[in-house]
Structure 1
Amino acid sequence: MRKFIFFTVSLSVFCFFVSNLTAASNRLDMYTRKDSIPPRLMSQLISEGKSALPEVISALEIIDWRVWYGNIARAGDEMGFSLYEVLRSIAERHSDARAELIESLYTSNYNTRLPIVLALSAAHAPGNEKRVRDLSIIPVLEPVMNDSETEIRELALNVLCYLEAKEAIPLLTRVVRTEKVTRLKLYAAQALAKLNVKEGFDTILFYLKDADPFIRRTAAIQLADIKTKQSKETLENALRIEKDPTVIAALVRAIREHTGETDHQVRKRFFGRPY
């Protein structure tokens, strides 16, 4: 009789434990992409940090993140917005979770990789009041820069550029030398130029002479944020010979960033008229 009671009690305890464990590991399963995660559950997931990641990453699969990323209103994807907020907050608050998030990029598909790297980028962005500058993730990011998807490489590159750290120079240099997408090459070059790496400035200067007006305009925009005498002189020399109106507009705005003039003042100084 005692054995039976002991067995019954033990079985009940075991079932209770398994039931709780199953419920705990499937807290997000009851929601569809049209549902917002309740604030209390979001706070709980965020506070748990790294331990909540398997659950959150598993839930990412129900959202078409390519559509979500391109849809500013994100109408009908409340679950996606909630999951993104959870990921971003975990990346901001838990240093041990950041490397874990990046490592998860190696084994996940594109649809899962996009929100993860987007959240990491947002956590390091200069305009973020809770911005982090986690230099320890630089070596972990290196394989991500070989990703087959341009969007993934671009968002990972954002993190490197936001760090503004000399520790990122080797990887940024590799991007400048090997990246196939020119705008990403220019982003990396700008980050290097800000760190006083000559190769970065030389790369931008090279593309400022490109045959494609779009590339020249992008290069001019990159020089706007590099506040050096050489950068200002390079922009002014380019403006004197540029013929494309869209590139001229970009050069004028870039020079304005250096001199504090208005667009009209820059144009009058170079062309004799304010338009």
Structure 2
Amino acid sequence: MATEKKSGGIVETIKTIVYALLIAGVFRTIFFQPFWIPSGSMKETLLIGDFLFVNKMAYGYSYASCPSIPFTGIGPDKLCGFLDGDNTRILGRMPERGDVVVFRHPVNGTDYIKRLIGLPGDRIQVRDGVLHINGQPVKVEPAGVFEEIAGPQGPQGLRPRCANGPVGDGAVCKKERFIETLPNGVRHTILNIGDQRSDHTGVYTVPEGHFFFMGDNRDNSADSRLPQTAGGVGFVPFENLIGRADRIMFSSAGRSLLFFWTWRADRFFKGIQ
């Protein structure tokens, strides 16, 4: 009798674990997807080591909404690739200018996170470091200096670029800080390191069914200003949007989550603007 109870208990435990994994899988597939910030292209809005959940309901669903299956090598393309190519979404809703969006790179399939700047039909240009939308410059206000400590950041050990020149580990790395206001009233921080080619662009006309993205750390972002063949993301199709980033859930400045002394408690549950 005791053996039967023990055996039954093990079976129930296994069933509970399986059910929990199934529920978690459904939750991740339909509602939210976890995302770690791996690079500094969205500073200071998002820092390396921020952890957030992407709202997959915000824009409806497409092939890009499918998750990867851990430890199997099976990715979204294999699960839902048959939906790829028509640039449509189920229950689709248009994103708004200024949204912080996670999307799938149109060529290599890597997940990116950037700010949505250009809608279909928009004409986008950067002139002398100032964003222009449909021929009009956006409002830009000086907002002091963004400072961080120079040195390896995150699991990849990335080093920040500084407006005050190359500085050694432990020194203060500075960037110019501005508040940019988009035509629909969305206000957000952008950073400037120095004058470079991406501060002087031609006019990009966003095709129908596509979007134009830029990083808030303007001089350190591979985004829609560069074509896909040159390491950028180019114009991103509607179907490649995964979801909207609304809130940071957790943040760690260290190379491992186990380094609790590097946790950024002031960023826990912080809203994304």
TM-score range, shorter chain: under 0.3
TM-score normalised by structure 2 residue count = 0.26
More strand, by proportion: 2
Larger Rg, first or second structure (1 or 2)? 1
Name the structure, 1 or 2, with higher relative contact order (CA <8 Å, separation 6+).
Answer: 2
